[in-house]
Structure 1
Amino acid sequence: MVKAEAAVLPLSGVRVVDLTRALSGPFCTMLLGDQGAEVVKIERPVVGDDTRRQSNPMVGTENSAFLAVNRNKRSVAVDLRAEAGVEVVRRLVAVSDVVVENFRPGKAEQMGLGYEQLRELNPGLVYCSISGWGSDGPYAARGGYASTAEAAGGLMSVTGERGRGPVKVGVSIVDSLTGLYAKDAITAALLARVRTGVGQKVETSLLESTVSILSMSAYAYLLGGVVAGRWGSEHQWNVPWKAFETTDGYVVVASSSEEQWRKICVGIERPDLLEDPRFTTMADRAAHREILYALLDEVFATHTTHDWVARLDAVGAAAAPVNTIDQVFADPQVLARDMLQSVEHPTLGPIAQVGHAQKLHGTPHQITLPPPLLGQHTREVLTDLGGYTPDEIDELARDGVVGVADHPAATA
């Protein structure tokens, strides 16, 4: 557990206008908020962010998908189809440091919210665009989701079991990865602004994020001419490396060296395998993987997952249980590393939140605000940052340009 005295957070004093919706953009801006940025989330009146109305499990009146990626933000409901709504955003941008948007390329410019239009108001602005395919090239205008990027970017071609069709990764990893890349680009641009005094536009896309993590599979082809395939939980070159079924679940065992192979054989009490010429080297084991895995399948089927992890851990071999999601959040290591936290929601009470993967010991991340109600902070933000009077806000609300939450949690 990381502990530190109360300190100014890394991005304290940075204000972000968040025009994003769904997952990749909101994940990016949530991470900025976790590091202390003031995030103003712009949502459509009445309907809000797309994730407020998805088919994910509901928690009271709130959607768990929205609750997953929108903490540490204030919600302002604005109709960007209205000229007066665009003006609201422009006023906020004039006093902000960062804009993040994930419209299709060209849409922001059509609304008067493109980079060139907004930097006239604010030359120091860091403007981040997130898209499916990038702002130019033959696919720029296409719609895109994480799965289409996984497919076109090659990730799906190497995901799935041998001899079977491609599958998507079990979570929206490309959305989250793209959000991470966007956050990284934003913080780098903010650092560059300290040196240059001016902002800049930064970009990332679902496709580029996917291609960037092909990693060794990319270089196996680019430098070695080998096109990787699907190997399930196995490794193409390192053997053994696989999820083995136990009496009550699965255990993953991984070996990338002869020393690790020796430890595995000791841990499973099969030292005879070390003397078998078919398994002497990694190349030998890869050449005889079917024979070896048949033998190991029989071994691991004799005990529980917990038993095997304990035995292998005792000899220094790499092994882990295949935890289900509920088991993850009961895992003592996950809990010890503060990966399960909570925050007080205005209508739901305490709600669980996934913790921070980054641990900053001097300026630790904090969850200071719960995911907001739709339009919860419209009056507060338009008054404090936009310079609107109460009467002007009331008029905008009557005209449907802005939405104001009527819950007591909303600041009047």
Structure 2
Amino acid sequence: MGPIDSTNWFKRGRLVEQFGQQNNSSITEMGPLAGITVVDLSSVVVGPTCTLTLADHGAEVIKVEAPEGDLMRTLGGGARNPGMTGKFMNFNRNKRSICVNLKTEEGLFLLKKVLAKADVLVTNMRLGALQKLGLDYASLKAMNPQLIYCQILAFGRGGTYFNRPAYDTVIQSSAGVSATFEKSSGEPRFVPLVMGDHITGLVSAQTIGFALFRRTRTKVGELIEIPMFETMAAFVLREHMGNMTFEPGIGPIGDARVLDKNNRPVKTADGYISISPNTNAQAFAFFDAIGRPELKVDPRFDNVTNRTKNSVEYYEIRSSSLGSKTSAEWIEIFERIDIPCMRYNSLEDLLEDPHIQSVNFLQQTVHPSEGLIREIGLTNKFSGGNRQGFTPAPRLGENTIEILQEFGASEQEIEQALATSAIVQHRQST
């Protein structure tokens, strides 16, 4: 619909002409992105992470799915019903699903009706496919000059690897994430979560926010390109380039403290805890607590600079000094002397963590088809108000007809598209 400036065509009764007929309390319950319409032409994790972030903060997200549905509907693990895995639901709440066969002229025509009025498009489809469908930025800009078009790429345009396909593991390996494991443990590995997808998705949402802010002043949209490889390479190198920042380099690449093999949860008598005594006051208190007060005047450890230079020895002392007491006993000691520490949580423990419970982080809701589920709460708060309440992740094509009606499709166009399977109203995916 472009910027909210004169007419609001929303059906759902939440916004009316720049909120003019809404009172302040109802506006604050919508979230900071209320009134922004996002078309989500993405799948799996990276794009849905971006659009989930936008949706959780009030944007109206329309998830466009092919007849076979988002791959996470089946690849996402266990499910009570086909096409509704827990992982899919975690990435796709607060969205509505429109099921369109973009290989048909009717389906493509109807999707363009939606895009002509949207604020934002998010896609991780490859550029060649988008151009073939007439869904590239130049084509859509001609019909909607206010569109913010976010293209999530594997590798940046103009680079050696541009237009290669990639998944998260490919990016972790090529962007140096796996190399950090090799430096610390001798073997390259993947972080056992799709970290590149998560981070790139969040960066994409952040960048869309910047573009929307600029559009309030310029009144025109723009193309945003977010490459996963460069995004993750930037994260790795900001952390580890260090000595190689200088020309010529003044030492080996990599933060030795972070890469140390003993930079990990510390074994206690009955489990593990994490502990991080970094300042002089914290380190000296730690030496006292473990019965090694002489280390406070040891020239290897008597200040931050020396402990950094001798991080291997320092981490070795930390990792081998807590076996005489239980985790609870050490935590009580370290909390009393103001050393940052926390108990180690297994994945199962995390669900029952007392802080997680006290801040209502996991909330029970009832999904219309999946029954009782747990939703992950918002982790950031706005004094001006957060979006209130969640809508459950949609079944495939659940909202196809209502969305097309909202965007001006005629009854005849919808009936014809249904008859030719150019669009699909809700059915369980297989």
Residue 222 (structure 1) aligns with = 245
Cα 1:270–1:373 shift into 2, 3 Å = same
Counterparts of 2:354 and 2:78 in 1: how far apart (Å)?
26
Return the alpha-carbon distance in structure 1 between the equivalents of residues 239 and 316 of structure 2: 27
Distance apart, 1:298 and its partner CA: 4.1
Give a deviation string over 1:88-134, Cα, whole Å, max 9, x none: 11000111111111012332111111111011111111100001112
Alignment partner for residue 58 of structure 1, among 79, 83, 86? 79
Identity of aligned residues (%): 29
Q: Which amino acid aligns with 2:425?
A: V
1:353 to 368, 371, 375: 375
| Letter of the structure 2 residue corresponding to residue 54 of structure 1 | L
CA contact (8 A) 2:263 2:315 kept: no
Equivalent residue, structure 2, for 1:115: 137
2:352 match: secondary structure: coil
1:150 maps to 172
CA distance in 2, matches of 1:229, 1:274: 27
**Cα distance between partner residues in 1 of 2:217 and 2:276:** 45
Q: Is the 8 A contact 2:242 2:255 kept in 1?
A: no
SS at match of 2:374: strand
CA distance in 1, matches of 2:315, 2:211: 49
Query: Is 1:48 the equivalent of 2:69?
Result: yes
Equivalences for residues 80-95 of structure 1 within 5 A: 80-95=102-117
Task: Give the conservation status (yes or no) of the 8 Å contact 2:239–2:255.
Answer: no
Asked whether the 8 Å contact 1:267–1:314 carries over to 2, the reply is: no
1:189 and 2:211 aligned: yes
Q: Name 1:328's counterpart in structure 2.
A: 350
Give the structure 2 partner of residue 405 of structure 1. 426
Correspondence list, 1:349-388, <5 A: 349-388=371-410
2: CA distance, partners of 1:123 / 1:295: 61
Q: Contact 1:278/1:288 (CA < 8 Å) preserved in 2?
A: yes
Displacement of 1:54 in angstroms is 0.4
Paired with 1:250 and 1:380, the residues of 2 have a C-alpha distance of: 52
Aligned to 2:413: 392
CA deviation string 1:231-278 (max 9, x = no partner): 6xx5359x9954211223221221322212012123334434324454
Change (3 A) 1:220 1:230: closer
Q: Is the 1:359–1:365 Cα contact (8 Å) retained in structure 2?
A: no
Aligned with 1:134: secondary structure? coil
- Which residue is 2:60 aligned to? 38
Deviation at 1:372, TM superposition (A): 0.4
State the secondary structure of the residue aligned to 1:144.
coil
1:68-79 equivalences under 5 Å are: 68-79=90-101
Deviates more, 1:48-57 or 1:26-35: 48-57
Distance 1:20 1:56 in 2: 19
- TM-score w.r.t. length of structure 1: 0.89
- The offset of 1:332, in angstroms, is 2.1
Structure 1 residues 170 and 230: alpha-carbon distance in aligned structure 2, compared to 1, 3 A threshold: farther
- 1:303 correspondence with 2:325: yes
Give the 3 Å change call, closer, same or farther, for CA 259–115 of structure 1 in structure 2.
same
**Which residue type is aligned with residue 372 of structure 1?**
P
* TM-score normalised to structure 2 length: 0.85
Residue of structure 1 in register with 2:34 after alignment: 12
CA distance, structure 1, for counterparts of residue 361 and residue 157 of structure 2 = 35
Cα contact 1:56–1:65 (8 A) shared by 2: yes
Counterpart CA distance in 1 for 2:95 and 2:41 is 12
Matching of residues 214-293 of structure 1 within 5 Å: 214=236, 215-223=238-246, 224-229=249-254, 235=258, 242-285=264-307, 292-293=314-315
How far does the alpha carbon of each residue in 1:283-308 deviate from its partner, in whole angstroms, 9 at most, with x for none?
Answer: 54456555555554443112222322
Structure 1 SS opposite 2:131: helix
Unaligned runs of 5+ in 1: 408-412
SS at match of 2:395: coil
Deviation, structure 1 residue 365: 3.5
What residue is the counterpart of 1:410 in the other structure? Answer: none
Is the counterpart of residue 130 in structure 1 residue 155 in structure 2? no
Residues 282 and 230 of structure 1, relative CA distance in 2, 3 Å threshold: closer
CA distance in 1, matches of 2:415, 2:324: 70
How many residues are treated as equivalent by the alignment?
A: 399
Deviation at 1:406, TM superposition (A): 4.9
Structure 2 residue ranges without an equivalent (≥5):
1-23
Cα distance in 2 for partners of 1:187, 1:297 equals 43
Do the aligned partners of 2:102 and 2:108 also contact (CA within 8 Å) in 1? yes
Q: Summarize deviations over 1:336-374 as a string: whole Å, max 9, x none.
A: 334323443111123212222222122214443111000
Contact 2:396/2:427 (<8 A) preserved: no
Q: Distance in 1 between matches of 2:42 and 2:136?
A: 14
Contact between 1:160 and 1:230, CA under 8 Å: does it hold in 2?
A: no
Q: Give the match's secondary structure for 1:323.
A: coil
1:52 Cα deviation from its structure 2 partner: 0.6
Match of 2:122 in 1: 100
Is 1:240–1:254's contact at 8 Å kept on the other side of the alignment? no
Aligned to 1:201, what secondary structure does the other structure show? strand
